[in-house]
Amino acid sequence: MGTILIHCQWLISMAEGQAPIHDAYLKIVDDKIAEVGQWQEAMIEPGAEVIEAQDKLVMPGLINTHTHAAMVLFRSLADDLALDSWLKEKIWPLEEKLTPEDVYAGTRLAICEMLRSGITTFADMYFFMDEVARAVEESGIRAVLARGLLGAGPEAEKKLEEAIETGKKWKGKAEGRITTMLGPHAPYTVPPEFLRQVVAASRHYQLPLHIHVAETRNELEEISKEYSKRPVAYLAEHGVFSRPVLLAHGVWLDEGEISFLSRQKVAVAHNPASNLKLASGIAPVAKMLQEGLLVSLGTDGAASNNRLDLFAEMRLASLLHKVANQDPTVLSAETALKMGTINGAHALGLAEQIGSLEPEKKADLIMIDLNQSHLTPCLNPVSLLVYAARGSDVTDVMVNGEWLVQAGKITKWDESEVIKAAARTAADLLKR
């Protein structure tokens, strides 16, 4: 790969205590960051590729900690419904018809959308994870993959065996870009005996858990009726929080649960757009942050968002919690940016590799075109990114030291072919 020197107008490293650097440089050697600092001509060394990007801002790639990538195939299909109706009447019947080829086509489309908008890592929970992993391997993106698990009996146990095999097979593959988890879907879809089996497998095979929890009021009522306790207590009873947990949503967590989850070092993936669109509610993120809970950001699937743009999620999260708390100081731009970068890396157990631009970390970065009317003037680059930037402002994306997007173009695939294949797949799916 060699040595690359990027000379940029602004660099935001997200390293602890480091302010944005104006007229900055980033030195990359092979797949890792070597140096970050103020630009000087003397830094140019023989044989290095120098990229002059004085109209660009360089920052860590965004980290999407909760999505269902192949659900892009259902985008705009079942909108304006409550979660229960959306899932049970529209989504689950279609998912029953999905084939491995469908999931591959949908995942490729989702990866194109995510890369184009600056997402360099995503945590996915879905089906046919071999096909998801194949798309990840081909595209160059980084991913944390978990096969969704729900139900009971022999069929559920077979799916758990598949999930374990997939987790073992792909852990550390694709030049180390793929890591794996187990994905028990939610408290209301995973009964006690099966939940205990999943927890035991998680412990034995050293695979963290990725699970939806307290997403809707209906979930609370259903679990309370079935088990006479709230979802967090139900999961705790069966050992879920004895393992590393990535908890998606957490909309209906109370103060005691937030305090408990903080002590258990649980990571929360906050999905503001999906929660609003499905009218699930507003997660108590301000309280989570006050209690020291690690909060990251997710898009959820494109069927319930309807896009995979983490810039939109950062802006929405900050604005939403300001008004929800009637306090404009809640969830600052800096906090939102942390949620989209370094917090996401911690949530996925990857903070030693990604999430900030520091020496010895992987070269996962994106470049933003600042030479645009809506990004001028750049008086505060962090604020500008969160409140004014869009995913479409991303021009270049690097993962593991390799350019995956250059000048707005996907480098590994013919994006037009990916789009056509996904459109054909979605149309065919509706005819089955």
pLDDT at 129 (0 to 100) = 97
Backbone angles phi, psi at 206, to 5 degrees: 55, 50
Residues 260 and 389 in one domain: no
Range of the domain at 173: 62-347
Q: Return all residues near 353 (Cβ < 8 A) that are at least 6 apart.
A: 345, 361, 362
Query: Does residue 97 lie within any of the structural domains?
Result: yes
CATH number, domain with residue 31: 2.30.40.10
Determine how β-strand 49-60 pairs with β-strand 3-11.
parallel
Please work out, in degrees rounded to the nearest 5, the angle formed at the alpha carbon of residue 245 by the alpha carbons of 239 and 248: 120
Q: Quick check: helix, strand or coil at residue 305?
A: coil
Residues 200 and 258 in one domain: yes
Residues 145 and 19 in one domain: no
Residues 211 and 311 in one domain: yes
Residues 390 and 284 in one domain: no
The count of domains in the chain is: 2
d(CA 240, CA 200): 9
pLDDT, tens digit, for every residue of 263-277? Answer: 999 999 999 999 999
Q: Which residues pair with 37 in a beta bridge?
A: 25
Query: Does residue 409 lie within any of the structural domains?
Result: no
Residues 317 and 382 in one domain: no
Residues 27 and 104 in one domain: no
pLDDT at 189 (0 to 100) = 95
CATH number, domain with residue 180: 3.20.20.140
Give every strand in the sheet of 178-184, ordered side by side.
62-67, 119-126, 142-149, 178-184, 209-213, 245-249, 267-270, 294-297
List the alpha helices (DSSP H) in 117-191: 129-139, 153-170
pLDDT at 42 (0 to 100) = 62
Query: Does residue 330 lie within any of the structural domains?
Result: yes
Residues 95 and 212 in one domain: yes
Residue 269 burial (10 A CB sphere; 0-12, 13-18, 19+): buried
DSSP string for residues in 208-254: -EEEEES-SHHHHHHHHHHHSS-HHHHHHHTTGGGS-EEEEE-TT--
pLDDT, tens digit, for every residue of 194-221? Answer: 999 999 999 999 999 999 999 999 999 9
Query: Does residue 354 lie within any of the structural domains?
Result: no
Query: Does residue 228 lie within any of the structural domains?
Result: yes
Write down the pTM of the prediction: 0.97
Residues 48 and 91 in one domain: no
Whether the predicted pLDDT of 82 surpasses 90: no
What percentage of the chain reaches a pLDDT higher than 70? 100
Query: Does residue 420 lie within any of the structural domains?
Result: no
Which of the pair, 87 or 15, is modelled with greater confidence? 15
Among the candidates 347, 379, 412, a domain finishes at: 347
Residues 48 and 96 in one domain: no
Give the pLDDT band of residue 43 (cuts 50, 70, 90). Answer: confident
Residues 177 and 100 in one domain: yes
Q: State the residue for tokens 């084939």.
A: 99
Give the pLDDT band of residue 40 (cuts 50, 70, 90). Answer: confident
pLDDT at 425 (0 to 100) = 97
Q: Return all residues near 48 (Cβ < 8 A) that are at least 6 apart.
A: 2, 3, 4, 5, 27
The count of residues in the chain is 432
Give the pLDDT band of residue 369 (cuts 50, 70, 90). Answer: very high
Residues 25 and 132 in one domain: no
